[in-house]
A and B are shown apart, each in its own frame.
Chain A
Amino acid sequence: MNRVTFRLAVPPVSGVLRPRLIVVCVAVTAVTFLAFCLGIGLGEFPLSLGEVIQSLLGTGDQGIAFVVRELRLPRALTGLLAGAAFGLSGALFQAMTRNPLASPDMIGVTQGAGVAVVAGLVLGVGSGLPVLGFAGAVAAALLTYLLAWGRGSTGYRIVLVGIGVSWICTSATEYLMVTSGDFQAQQALGWLFGNLNGRSWSHAVPLALALAVLLPAALLLGRWTRALQLGDEVATVLGTPVQAARLALLLTGVALVAFATAAAGPIAFVALGAPQIAQRLARTAWPPPVASALAGAGVVLAADLVARLLIPDVELPVGVVTGVLGAPLLLWLLARGRRT
Chain B
Amino acid sequence: MKLVAAAAGALVLVCLLSLSLGARQIPLDQVVRALTDAEVSQEVRDVIWSVRAPRTMLGVLAGVALGLSGALMQALTRNPLADPGILGVSAGAAFAVVLSMGLLGIMTMSGFVWFAFAGALIASIVVYGLAGLGRDGMSPVKLALAGVAVTFLLSSVTSAFVLVDPESLSRYRFWSAGSLSGAGTQVVPQLLPFVAVGAVLALASAPALNSIALGDDVARGLGRRVGWVRVQGAAAVMLLTGAAVAAIGPVVFVGLVVPHLARLMARHGGREADHRLLLPVSALLAPCLLLVADIAGRIIAPPIEVQAGLLVALIGGPFFLVLARRQRLAQL
Contacts and interface: CB of A to CB of B under 8 A. Distances in A.
Nearest to A303: B156
B310 A171 contact: yes
Nearest to B147: A101
Contact of B320 (A101, A164, A175, A189): A164
A165 B321 contact: yes
A339 B131 CA distance: 14
Contact of A323 (B155, B318, B320): B155
- Report whether over half of chain B's contact residues are helix, strand or loop; otherwise say mixed: helix
A95 B144 CA distance: 16
Contacts of B79: 99, 101
B160 interface: yes
Interface string B269-313: 000000000000000000000000000000000000011011111
Assign chain B's interface to a size class. Answer: 35 or more
B174 interface: yes
B14 interface: no
B268 interface: no
A189 B145 contact: no
A273 B317 contact: no
B24 interface: no
A65 B1 CA distance: 76
Contacts of A185: 169-170, 173
A335 B81 contact: no
A161 B134 contact: no
Contact of B310 (A178, A190, A276, A320): A178
A101 B324 contact: no
Interface stretch (A56-64, A152-160, A201-209, A241-249): A152-160
Interface string A328-340: 1011001111111
A193 B159 contact: yes
A326 interface: yes
Among the interface residues B152, B153, B162, B312, which one has the most CB atoms of the partner chain A within 10 A?
B152
A316 B169 contact: no
A320 B149 contact: no
A174 B177 contact: yes
Given A102-B81, A339-B135, A175 B306 contact: yes
B125 interface: no
A339 B134 CA distance: 9
17 contacts: A150-B326, A156-B80, A160-B260, A163-B320, A165-B317, A165-B321, A171-B311, A171-B312, A171-B314, A171-B317, A177-B173, A189-B162, A276-B145, A319-B159, A327-B156, A328-B153, A334-B133
Given A171-B309, A334-B134, 6 more contacts: A101-B148, A150-B326, A161-B325, A167-B320, A320-B160, A326-B149
Interface of A: 99-102, 106, 147-148, 150, 156-157, 159-161, 163-165, 167-168, 170-172, 174-175, 177-178, 182, 185-186, 189-190, 193, 268-269, 272-273, 276, 314, 316-317, 319-324, 326-328, 330-331, 334-340
